[in-house]
């Protein structure tokens, strides 16, 4: 939810949930720079912390649609997928990357929204899971390279560090 306020000094409107500012009186706000220049003091208001995964998702969507905001329709879709489908922000992001970059679908198909997500979410998850498995397999291949191949010389086999088992997490 946006909290649009008017800077007491320069008169410009800004969203105090996005831009840190100074509360110069009970209900008046000013840009930090403006307040400093005008010699006003007050409590510093920091924007509420936003979920990092949501920020990443929104950044990606804005780039995807070449816009500098998230339209109401997409906001609603994200909310719906999160709350009703129980998708994670990161999962939605990966699904979009999968659909548009890996599968190479045109943005024209998006029709100004991200309605494709529920249809492709599982498939995207599977894709990233397979990638993860391939990566693990490669890592294990690398280990075998270091095994001594010459048998007539006594060489202590290199210690292979026990690898931590990492669990695949689509939501990371």
Number of residues that bind Zn ion (CB under 5 A): 5
- Binding of residue 10 to Zn ion (CB under 5 A): yes
Determine which residue in the list 22, 23, 24, 34 makes contact with Zn ion, applying CB under 5 A: 34
Is 96 a binder of Zn ion (CB under 5 A)? no
Q: Which is nearer to Zn ion, 36 or 130 (CB)?
A: 36
93 makes contact with Zn ion (CB under 5 A): no
- CB 15 to Zn ion: min, Å: 13
Q: Does 16 bind Zn ion (CB under 5 A)?
A: no
Q: Which stretch binds Zn ion (CB under 5 A): 31-39, 74-82, 118-126, 133-141?
A: 31-39
Return d(Cα 75, Cα 97) in angstroms, integer: 18
Give the tokens for residue 147.
């095994």
Question: Among 25-33, 56-64, 77-85, 151-159, which window interacts with Zn ion (CB under 5 A)?
Answer: 25-33
Selected from 7, 78, 110, 124, the binder of Zn ion by CB under 5 A is 7
Closest contact distance (angstroms) between CB of 14 and Zn ion is 8
Torsion angles phi and psi, residue 38, rounded to 5: -85, 0
The CA distance from 37 to 149, in Å, is 72
**Contact of 116 with 110, CB cutoff 8 Å:** yes
> Phi/psi of residue 6, each to 5°?
-110, 130
Q: In a 10 Å sphere around its CB, with 0-12 CB exposed, 13-18 middle and 19+ buried, how is residue 20 labelled? A: exposed
Q: Which of 5, 22, 23, 31 binds Zn ion (CB under 5 A)?
A: 31
Closer to Zn ion by Cβ: residue 35 or 124: 35
69 to 32, 77, 125, 163, 168: CA distances (angstroms)? 24, 15, 27, 43, 32
- Which residues contact Zn ion (rule: CB under 5 A)? 7, 9-10, 31, 34
């Amino acid at each position: 939810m946006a909290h649009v306020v008017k800077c007491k000094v320069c008169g410009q409107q800004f969203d105090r949930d996005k831009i840190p500012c100074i509360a110069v009186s009970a209900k008046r706000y000013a840009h930090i720079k403006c307040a400093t220049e005008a010699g006003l003091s007050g409590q510093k208001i920091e924007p509420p912390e936003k979920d990092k995964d949501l920020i990443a998702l929104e950044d990606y969507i804005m780039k995807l649609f070449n816009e500098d905001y998230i339209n109401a329709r997409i906001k609603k879709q994200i909310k719906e997928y999160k709350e009703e489908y129980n998708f994670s922000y990161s999962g939605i992001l990966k699904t979009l990357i999968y659909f548009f970059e890996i599968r190479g679908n045109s943005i024209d198909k998006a029709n100004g929204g991200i309605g494709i997500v529920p249809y492709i979410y599982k498939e995207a998850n599977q894709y990233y899971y397979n990638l993860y498995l391939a990566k693990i397999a490669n890592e294990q291949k690398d280990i075998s390279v270091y095994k001594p191949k010459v048998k007539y010389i006594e060489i202590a086999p290199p210690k292979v560090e026990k690898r931590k088992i990492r669990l695949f997490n689509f939501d990371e």
